[in-house]
Structure 1
Amino acid sequence: MAASTITYTENPVSALGVVVFLLLFYLGVRGRIRYMRTLERGTHALYATDFEARIPLKYNNELSTMAAALNDMAEQIVASRSKEKDFLLNISHDLRTPLTSIMGFLSLLKEKSYDNEPEKERYIEVLEERTGYLKKLIDEFFEISQLKWKPAVLNKSRVNMQELLRQVVEGYHPQSKDRRIETVLLLPDQSVHVEIDADLFVRVLENLLSNAFKYSRADTELTIRLREPVAENRRQCLLQLELWSTPAQTMESGELNRLFDRFYKGDSSRTGEGAGLGLSIAAEIIRLHGGRLDAQIEGERLGMMIELFMEK
């Protein structure tokens, strides 16, 4: 029986097609391979220059997207460090001011540089006031550090928002009377219940109200409005709480985005009091509740807007 023979016939056209395909493939990936090397060198450069260098963007593909993301990360790191530096300068200034005052009055008392007992008592009162203010600064600094960097455990309970607002606002009646600021509380007729950490939420309200009474113009109105919850989807509603005041000093719209920045303190507020942490503490607490705290300007009025999501 004769052995069968298989004959392979070369097709020049097919061979040429393979060559062309390989050539095109090489030309197509060569640029990517080179850019991958650029990406590798750029990554090393980021670390070598303490995130000051940037990776060049050459192509419109996933590699350039990765490079852009790395550049954005580097910019955020640099910006964060700048904010930390500003914060340290601000907190150092605010801590040094009362400390200098305390040391001065202690020196006067030690040297008995007073003419009579009433003057001595006045020195002691100033010392107590300055010491209390210094403790407040340290407590706020500790609180924002805890909220920002320590895992938070919220002790949530079902709270009637109308009752909570009435109780907190009532506690500010002396400030309202002293500053001649009329407080208007606008609440829905139907009770609004929401799951929140009541103690932390009271802290938010106290920070916002304290700021409003401290920085508002006298003989104006402070409006606190709780809006009816609005359905967002089949499971959740959006709850909005607004506080509108009239600041004594005109605020630029460009300042709004940085009001809640714990590292920011406007030049107009650098009077030796306050570390600029109250609003950032409030914003961080709302963030932990899955909501947001924003600011708006309408004419002369400044609005603090709280948004919270609640289950139906």
Structure 2
Amino acid sequence: MVAGPGSIVAAIPMPALLIARDERIIAANAEAVALLGATIEGRHFITVLRQPQTLEAVEGALRTGAPSQAVYLSNDGRQDTSFRVTARQVDEGGTTGVIVCFEDETHRAQAEQMRRDFVANVSHELKTPLTALIGFIDTLRGPAREDPNARDRFLGIMESEANRMNRLVSDLLSLSRVEAEERVRPTARLDLAALIRATVRSLEPVAAEAGVTVALELSSGTTEIVGDTDQLRQVLVNLIENAIKYSGEGTTTRVALTGPSYEPRVRGQGVRIRVADSGPGIDPVHIPRLTERFYRIDTHRSRERGGTGLGLAIVKHIVNRHRGRLLVDSTPGEGSEFTVVLPTG
């Protein structure tokens, strides 16, 4: 039994149309109907496709028989979408026309845009301290050559800028490793309460220097989960350090662990790590973008405090690898609370 042109179009795993020599659409699969509308069969292709590049590609294939390509832009209600359109002449079952396929390239285009933005951001982040270092070196070789006070001051600033670049490179390497492992589920078991205690102890000098008290609220027993010890320590360090930095002198940062109990967000047994600060809080407009690479609410203040703009991006990817959820609750003037929900198994 020979399949008809309609059944062939229906079997194509992407939006596809068959346009006859009279320039009318004679077959469309379910994906094409979802993309272009439910009443497209029988209509002239110009009234359906509309975009000049796509129309030229179809007309060229109908006129010359040569394959042609174009870009078709749309929107799925959540985001702009981009398709690579291929038009090829077919002669099947007595039907001669052009088959038009739409290959979704949205994610590829987004990935390419992310790559360009990432390179631009890294270049900008590195250029600022490098420019400062070059300027201070020139000054030390010239006007400040014989000025010990200026020399010490400039060397201190140069050390700070070099350390900032070192932190940025370290965070970039961490982010790269985390992204590479994001789809690989951890298999080792660890005592999360013990890890939190050890992490807080390691940050006691940071808290003491900032004049902040870190209050722990943990159960007395062990809390075992499946996870990567080094990565979860990195999550804790990032969240607790941020809380200490933004709480302010004489305040308290609270770190709590609750569970295990049923957690709807992970659809099973889970635990919650809460890190709450006493800082200025975050305007709700910023919260959806906090985990973007290099996104800062206050760029100057973040850099003054040694931030690279990558900490929460790293946290997000690690939490994703553990099939967990990162929640942010903040009220301007009342502090912020970051909650990590992790499955136990």
Amino acid at match of 1:123: F
Aligned position for 2:254: 223
Q: What is the Cα deviation at residue 253 of structure 1?
A: 0.9
Q: So what's the TM-score if we normalise by structure 2?
A: 0.66
- The answer to whether the 8 A contact 1:156-1:198 is kept is no
Residue of structure 2 in register with 1:306 after alignment = 340
Corresponding residue SS for 1:242: strand
Shift of 1:199: 0.6
Q: How does 1:24-103 map to 2 (within 5 A)?
A: 31-34=39-42, 37=45, 45=54, 48=70, 53-54=73-74, 68=76, 72-74=80-82, 87-103=118-134
Partner of 2:141: 110
More moved, 238-247 vs 115-124 = 115-124
User: 5+ residue gaps in structure 2?
Assistant: 1-25, 29-37, 56-68, 83-105
Q: Would you say 1:178 and 2:212 are equivalent positions?
A: no
Q: Does 1:244 align with 2:276?
A: yes
Q: Judging changes above 3 Å, is the alpha-carbon distance between structure 1 residues 86 and 108 closer, same or farther for their aligned structure 2 residues?
A: same
Distance 1:43-1:180 versus aligned 2 partners, 3 A rule: farther
The alpha-carbon deviation at position 141 of structure 1 amounts to 2.2
Aligned length: 269
Structure 1: 5+ residue stretches without partners:
1-26, 56-67
Structure 1 residues 227 and 130, CA gap change in structure 2 (3 angstroms): same
Separation in structure 2 between the aligned mates of residue 252 and residue 40 of structure 1, nearest angstrom: 43
User: What SS does structure 2 have at the residue aligned with 1:260?
Assistant: coil
CA distance in 2, matches of 1:45, 1:95: 42
- Match in the other structure for 1:161: 192
Q: Deviations for 1:155-203, whole angstroms, at most 9, x for unmatched residues? A: 6422111111111001111222222222111012332111111011111
Q: Alpha carbons of 1:298 and 1:130: their partners in 2 closer, same or farther (altered >3 Å)?
A: closer
Q: What SS does the corresponding residue of 1:253 show, helix, strand or coil?
A: coil
- Larger strand proportion, structure 1 or 2? 2
1:128, 1:302 → 2: CA distance?
A: 32
Q: In 1, distance between residues paired with 2:294 and 2:222? A: 38
Q: Report the AA paired with residue 269 of structure 1.
A: T
2:344 counterpart SS class: strand
Which segment is superposed worse, 109-118 or 31-40? 31-40
Point out the more displaced range, 112-121 or 202-211. 112-121
CA contact (8 A) 1:84 1:263 kept: no
2:97 maps to: none
Is residue 2:232 matched to residue 1:201?
yes
State whether structure 2 residue 154 is matched by structure 1 residue 123: yes
* Distance 1:112-1:238 versus aligned 2 partners, 3 A rule: same
- Cα displacement (A) at 1:128: 2.6
Relative contact order, CA 8 A, sep 6+: which one is greater? Answer: 1
Q: Is the 8 A contact 2:181 2:321 kept in 1?
A: no
Task: Indicate the structure with greater helix content.
Answer: 1
Out of 123, 144, 166, the position equivalent to 2:175 is 144
Pair member with larger Rg: 1
The one-letter code matched in structure 1 to 2:179 is K
Contact 1:160 1:192 in 2 (8 A): yes
* Preserved contact between residue 189 and residue 226 of structure 2 (Cα < 8 Å): yes
Cα distance in 2 for residues equivalent to 1:125 and 1:33: 73
TM-score normalised by structure 1 residue count: 0.72
Name which of 283, 290, 294 aligns with 2:323.
290
Distance 1:88 1:43, change over 3 A: farther
**How far has the Cα of 1:101 moved from its partner?**
1.3
C-alpha displacement at 1:69, in angstroms?
7.9
Any idea what the Cα deviations from partners look like across 1:91-112, whole Å, max 9, x if unmatched?
3332122111111122123337
Cα-to-partner distance string for 1:265-312 (whole Å, 9 max, x where unaligned): 33x23447233110110110110111121211256120111011113x
**1:90–1:275: 8 Å Cα contact kept in structure 2?**
no
Q: Check 1:265–1:81 CA distance in 2 against 1; reply closer, same or farther (3 A cut).
A: farther
Sequence identity, in percent?
24
Contact 1:94 1:272 in 2 (8 A): no
3-state SS of the aligned residue for 1:229?
Answer: strand
Residues 237 and 309 in structure 1, CA contact (< 8 A), matched pair in contact too = yes
The 3 A distance-change label for structure 1 pair 185 and 115 is same
